[in-house]
Amino acid sequence: MNEPLFLKPYFQEKIWGGDRLKTEFGYDIPSDHTGECWAISAHPHGPATVENGPYKGETLDEVWNQHREIFGNAKGDVFPLLTKILDAKTDLSVQVHPDDKYAMEHEHELGKTECWYVIKADEGSVMYYGHNAKSREELQQMIENHEWDKLLRKVPVHAGDFLYVPSGTIHAIGKGIMVLETQQSSDTTYRLYDFDRVDAKTGKKRELHLKQSIECTNVPHKDPELKQVKSKVGDVNVTQFVSTKFFAVYEWHVQNDEGTFKRESAPYTLVSVLDGKGEVIVDGKHYPIQKGMHFILPYDVKEWTIKGNLQIIASEPGKDA
Ligand code: ZN
């Protein structure tokens, strides 16, 4: 398949969600409590739908299951990645995700390592990221005693920041922040603390998972060492934020110019347009692209040109994905 696979996202309402997926990105969202846009998703809890070409109307998991050649005959039961845009009107729950081993054993799905590109952050915004406990016993004590201020680390963030969140990292996206999240395709979240909120719809607090949280958290917390690598493809400025066994994530930035990419080792490429307008050119065909669009460049697309005024976040599966 020598053309991009454009995708229609799936939206999830959340207790902490807002309306910026509509006001910022123009999406048709179900309510003004919409927290998550599952943009490039083959996860059964919210698969994206193909918008063009021979597979128009099929969900991404159907295409993954029935036409694996599009993905270079990649191995694995499940499409490994999930790209989301999140709008945190209020704080998300303080949570942790398991690694592959724990998740397979207890949840029969992938673990979840994720990362965030900060699209927008209101003045004074903070992420909860990591913790101050020195041992698992101390972690348990601080959780049981509700010593959240002592336990949780807060990190100020701004638009353009990038944070890598390996499985086992305690975290919460803070209020007033929008991120593009690239993650392993998993929906397993263990909540430690939900700010004692009551869900307006159910009248109940959301479930906590203290035992699993304590078992899954990396103790002591260690910040990952990240090194951004900058390069140029034609006139496109490329920043590689991270490259791990799970995924590699890049920013492609082009201003009134263009660059032609060649497929390297990864079998397919996920692309999200965060800002601007332009086109992607594949095999002499011009496909208009603009802010809010998401697509996959399949295996047969060995070369593509990005042209216009565009800010893009792209990702590729890593060698374990
Ligand atoms: Zn998370």
Annotated binding residue 215: no
Q: What number of residues does the chain have? A: 321
Q: How far apart are CA 104 and CA 60, in angstroms?
A: 22
Asked if residue 321 has pLDDT above 80, the reply is no
Q: What is the mean pLDDT of residues 245-253?
A: 97
The pair of three-digit structure tokens given for residue 55, joined into one six-digit string? 């597979």
Q: How far apart are CA 279 and CA 289, in angstroms?
A: 5
Predicted TM-score (pTM) of the model is 0.96
Q: What is the mean pLDDT of residues 218-247?
A: 96
What distances in angstroms separate CA 226 from CA 35, 239, 243, 247, one per listed residue? 28, 12, 9, 14
Q: Which residues are catalytic?
A: 191
Å from CA of 141 to ligand 1 middle: 23
User: Residue 320's pLDDT band (boundaries 50, 70, 90)?
Assistant: confident
Q: What is the mean pLDDT of residues 32-41?
A: 97
Å from CA of 24 to ligand 1 middle: 22
User: Residue 265's pLDDT band (boundaries 50, 70, 90)?
Assistant: confident
Cβ atoms of residues 243 and 318 within 8 Å:
yes
Annotated binding residue 221: no
Supply the pLDDT for residue 84.
Answer: 98
Supply the pLDDT for residue 272.
Answer: 98
Contacts of residues 190-194 at CB distance under 8 Å and 24 or more positions apart, as own/partner, are 190/95, 190/96, 190/97, 190/98, 190/216, 191/93, 191/94, 191/95, 192/93, 192/94, 192/95, 192/96, 192/143, 193/93, 193/94, 193/143, 193/146, 193/148, 194/93, 194/94
Q: What is the pLDDT of residues 117-172, one digit of tens each?
A: 999 999 999 999 999 999 999 999 999 999 999 999 999 999 999 999 999 999 99
Q: What is the mean pLDDT of residues 76-94?
A: 96
Q: Which amino acid is at 125?
A: S
Residue with tokens 């951004």: 228
What distances in angstroms separate CA 161 from CA 126, 127, 156, 158, 296, one per listed residue? 12, 11, 10, 6, 24
Å from CA of 286 to ligand 1 middle: 36
Annotated binding residue 97: yes
> What's the mean pLDDT when you consider all of the chain?
96
Å from CA of 20 to ligand 1 middle: 20
Supply the pLDDT for residue 200.
Answer: 78
Supply the pLDDT for residue 202.
Answer: 86
Å from CA of 113 to ligand 1 middle: 8
Å from CA of 167 to ligand 1 middle: 9
